[in-house]
Amino acid sequence: MISVSVIGASGYSGIELLKILVRHPGVRIDKLFANSSAGKHLADVAPIFAKTADRMLESYAVDKILTSDLVFIALPSGEAMNIVPALLSAGKRVIDLGGDFRLQDASLYERYYKRPHTASTHLKQSVYGLPEWNYDQIKTASLIANPGCYPTSAIMPLAPLLKEGIIESEGIAISSLSGVSGAGRSASVDMSFAEVNESVRAYKVGTHQHIPEIRTTLEVLSNTQVKLTFVPHLLPITRGIYTSSYTTLKQHVNEQEILAIYEQYYAAAPFVRYSATVIPDIKNVAFTNFIDIGFRINQEDGQLVVLSTIDNLIKGAAGQAVQNMNIMFGLHETEGLK
- CATH 3.40.50.720 domain residues, the chain: 2-147+316-328
Contact 221, 157 (CB under 8 A): no
CATH topology (fold) of 149-311: Dihydrodipicolinate Reductase; domain 2 (3.30.360)
Residue 264, CA distances (Å) to 248, 276, 293 in order: 21, 15, 14
**The pLDDT of residue 54:** 75
Contacts of 168 (CB under 8 A, 6+ apart): 247, 248, 249, 250
Lowest-confidence segment of 36-50, 58-72, 232-246 by average pLDDT: 36-50
52 pLDDT band, cuts 50/70/90, is: confident
Cα–Cα distance, 247 to 218 (Å, whole number)? 14
Q: Where in the chain is the domain with CATH 3.30.360.10?
A: 149-311
pLDDT-derived band at 197 (thresholds 50, 70, 90) equals confident
Q: What percent of the chain has pLDDT over 70?
A: 97
Answer whether residue 262 shows pLDDT above 70.
yes
Q: Exposed e or buried b for every residue in 131-169, given b needs 16+ CB within 10 A?
A: bbbbeeebeebbbbbbbbbbbbbbbbbbbbbbbbebbbb
Q: Considering only CA atoms, which of 61, 70, 57, 63 is closest in space to residue 27?
A: 70
- The yes/no answer on whether domain 2-147+316-328 falls in CATH 3.40.50.720 is yes
Calpha distance 243→262 (Å, rounded): 17
Of the candidates 82, 64, 227, the one whose C-alpha atom is nearest the C-alpha of residue 73 is: 82
- Dist CA 91 CA 94 (whole Å): 10
- Please state, rounded to an integer, the average pLDDT across all residues of the chain: 94
Among 256, 246, 319, 308, residue whose Cα is nearest residue 282: 308
Q: Write out pLDDT tens, residues 152-177.
A: 999 999 999 999 999 999 999 999 99
Q: How many CB atoms lie within 10 A of CB 4?
A: 27
Looking at the DSSP assignment, which residues form a beta bridge with residue 232?
176
pLDDT given at position 193: 73
Q: In this structure, are residues 236 and 198 in contact, taking their beta carbons and an 8 Å threshold?
A: yes
Angle at 255 between CA 251 and CA 261, to 5 degrees: 75
CA distance 79 to 111: 17
149 is catalytic: yes
**Amino acid symbol at 188:** S
All residues at 6 or more sequence positions from 292 whose CB lies less than 8 Å from its CB, including other chains: 273, 274, 275, 278, 280, 281, 284, 285, 308, 309, 310
Set 97, 149, 177, 226: catalytic member: 149
Give which of 304, 333, 307 is closest to 164, Cα–Cα.
Answer: 304
Distances (CA, A) of 144 to 35, 70, 127, 131, 251: 22, 11, 5, 11, 37
How many Å apart are CA 213 and CA 102, to the nearest integer?
7
Q: Are strands 228-234 and 70-73 parallel, antiparallel or unpaired?
A: unpaired
Whether the predicted model's global pTM rises above the 0.85 cut: yes
Return the SS3 of 48. Answer: helix
Average pLDDT estimate for 188-205 = 79
